């Protein structure tokens, strides 16, 4: 049974968390898809780089990670004190840093578009 994050993670207490995310409907994240024969190994480096990039935007430290063929494990240390220190020093926070990191040379829209 799943629980809301608000029941599992305290906003005020630092802690270590083992986070798992997986693909659904037999989809493959990386490696060779046995059903279709397609190879998605090239995605592994993208996912590893994105995990480390996002850790810099939020008050978490990545202690370990494993990108498997259809799921991913990440061991994180969450430090609410670090996020509080960002606010006290006037940093914009994780979302603003994330937008700047994704901005590149063009503008980033914060409005979702459905096509």
Q: Give how many domains the chain has, as a whole number.
A: 1
State the DSSP H helix or E strand holding residue 56, giving kind and residue range, or none if neither.
helix 43-57
* CA–CA gap between residue 68 and residue 76 (Å, rounded): 17
pLDDT, tens digit (0-9, with 9 covering 90-100), for 17-57: 999 999 888 788 888 888 888 899 999 999 999 999 888 88
Residue 98 included in any domain = yes
Q: Considering the chain, what is the average pLDDT of its residues?
A: 80
Residue 91 included in any domain = yes
Q: What is the pLDDT of residue 82?
A: 83
115 pLDDT more than 80? no
Q: 47 or 112: whose pLDDT is higher?
A: 47
Residue-range definition of the domain harbouring residue 53: 12-103
The bridge status of strand 60-67 relative to strand 71-78 is antiparallel
* CA–CA gap between residue 84 and residue 17 (Å, rounded): 20
Residue 1 included in any domain = no
105 pLDDT more than 50? no
């Amino acid at each position: 049974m799943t629980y809301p994050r608000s029941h599992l993670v305290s906003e005020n207490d630092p802690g270590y968390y083992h986070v798992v995310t997986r693909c659904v409907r037999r989809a493959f994240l990386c490696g060779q898809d046995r059903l279709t024969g397609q190879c998605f190994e090239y995605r592994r480096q993208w996912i590893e780089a994105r995990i480390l990039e996002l850790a810099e935007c939020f008050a978490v430290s990545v202690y370990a990670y494993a990108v498997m063929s259809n799921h991913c494990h990440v061991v994180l240390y969450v430090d609410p004190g670090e996020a509080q220190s960002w606010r006290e020093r006037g940093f914009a926070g994780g979302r603003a840093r994330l937008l700047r990191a994704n901005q590149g040379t063009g503008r980033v829209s914060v409005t979702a578009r459905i096509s």
